[in-house]
Amino acid sequence: MKLNFVLILLILPFLTFAQVDYNSYFKNKSFRFDFLLGGNSDEVVVYPQEMKQEAFWAGSKNNLIDTFNYGSYRFRIFDSKSDSLIFSKGFSTLFQEWQTTAEAKTLNKTFYQAAIFPFPKKNVRLEIEARQWDGNFKTLYQTEINPKDYFILKEANADYEIFDIVKNGNPEKKVDLVILAEGYSTFEKEKFIEDAKRVSGYLFEEEPFKSEQEKFNIKAVFTPSAESGTDVPGENIYKNTHFNSKFYTFDVPRYLTTYDMKSVYDVASAAPYDHIYVLVNTERYGGGGFYNFLSVCTSDNELTKEVFVHEFGHGFAGLGDEYYNSSVAYEDFYNLEIEPWEPNLTTNVDFEKKWKSMIEESTPIPTPRKEKYKNSVGVFEGGGYMDKGIYSPAIDCRMKSNVANGFCPVCEESIRKVIKFYSE
């Protein structure tokens, strides 16, 4: 009897994280459910927009249930007949960042979003959930989806030129990155291709991407703009571009994003992708990155390499910012009474679940920011835009500064886990 009990304990973790048989539930296409996240600092509402069938599913067919629990939001797909969970994904968005700004206390806004998952063979239920201040998720919206519904759009993609930058094999066994051209005129196609090759090279100069390069595919989609460059509202500079990108997001000069996510999704669907990167044709410094949503970077700044890699750390691997002394628009971004969901930040509330196993016994916790520990994994106070109460793994890291010598060991390990999830 005791032996049986031990066997159950050994088997239980595998049952808990059992994945779904793809072919039992899904076709080899994508389903896109577009919606708006709207509200203010205290409220959030989901407004459905449209449903679309897309040509490619690039994600893993083995790992369909999210195992990371990252993101400020998540969506889950349930088989309607059995009520079984068959797909889930965490994500972040501009909306939850905007909610922490002063503007959100006096104004309501909406932000465009999409839940993208393999196209179901039978009826499913979609649930969209938001992480609350206490760290738990609350259901905001749910709906039944009939894959035979004739309101699901099946439009052909526009005829964009697509170029292979890195090609290593079957999309379902690779991390598939798509780079979109923003602010490149019709006459700047060759520049965009060369820029896409260059920034992709930057990524593979740093670990763990350097040693994991064979697990990536990268495609570049040329979307010509009427004008070169991007908007800089604080300097009264406005350009007519394909994705309507702009600096001064939340009135922060270097923060470069786009609110026109419908256009981004429509173009990205022309290629198989796991993550979207918008490359903006300008020499200015700036960018932005959001987990399982979008990364943005400029093409020709002297720090483009550092920013490109940093923003991909956010967008692809869910890494948090480790800096704590820079001007941002956020107020009370983290609840210090719970653990942050980002793998490289901690409040020490439940540090056992973070990187404690990577710290040497001789390293004190918290760890002083002293020269003695500059190459050590520790628990250094400061991170997540706050100098008190939030701790990060290293004195410096690509997620902290542009002068760091790459990612710290904790961020490297976190990235490797996400690469494995998409490629196995």
Sign of CA dihedral 250, 255, 260, 262: negative
CATH 3.40.390.10 positions along the chain are: 161-317
pLDDT, position 327: 55
pLDDT, position 333: 78
- Residue 271 tokens read as 């290629």
Higher pLDDT, 110 or 11: 110
Q: How far apart are CA 119 and CA 157, in angstroms?
A: 17
Q: How far apart are CA 329 and CA 213, in angstroms?
A: 35
CATH 2.60.40.3250 positions along the chain are: 18-153
- 322 strand-pairing partners: none
Please write the tens of the pLDDT for every residue from 289-316: 999 999 999 999 999 999 999 999 999 9
> Side by side, which strands form the sheet with 137-145?
85-91, 73-79, 124-131, 137-145
Do 281 and 195 touch, CB atoms closer than 8 A? yes
161-317 CATH: 3.40.390.10
Do 20 and 65 touch, CB atoms closer than 8 A? yes
Residues 6+ apart with CB under 8 A from 399: 310, 313, 319, 320, 321, 322, 323, 344, 392, 407, 408, 411
Q: How far is CA 311 from the centre of its chain?
A: 9
- pLDDT, mean of residues 83-100: 96
pLDDT, position 326: 60
pLDDT, position 325: 77
Q: How far apart are CA 184 and CA 191, in angstroms?
A: 8
Percentage, residues of the chain above pLDDT 70 = 94
Neighbours of 105 (CB within 10 A): 12
pLDDT, position 330: 56
Please write the tens of the pLDDT for every residue from 7-61: 444 444 434 457 899 999 999 999 999 999 999 999 999 999 999 999 999 999 9
Q: Which helix (H) or strand (E) holds 13?
A: helix 2-16
Q: How far is CA 85 from the centre of its chain?
A: 22
Amino acid at 39: G
pLDDT confidence bin for 157, thresholds 50/70/90:
confident
- pLDDT, mean of residues 156-174: 94
Do 85 and 76 touch, CB atoms closer than 8 A? yes
DSSP letter (8 states) at residue 255: B
The closest alpha carbon to 320, from 213, 421, 207, 410, belongs to 410
For helices 304-317 and 189-203, angle between their N-to-C axes, nearest 10 degrees:
70
Out of 17-26, 169-178, 218-227, 286-295, least confident range: 17-26
The closest alpha carbon to 180, from 123, 134, 224, belongs to 224
HSE-CB for 418 with a 13 A CA cutoff:
30
CATH architecture of the domain with range 18-153: Sandwich (2.60)
pLDDT, position 416: 98
Q: How far apart are CA 239 and CA 228, in angstroms?
A: 7
Residue 401 scores a pLDDT above 50: yes
What are phi and psi for residue 260, nearest 5 degrees?
-90, 65
DSSP letter (8 states) at residue 328: -
Do 86 and 68 touch, CB atoms closer than 8 A? no
pLDDT, position 6: 38
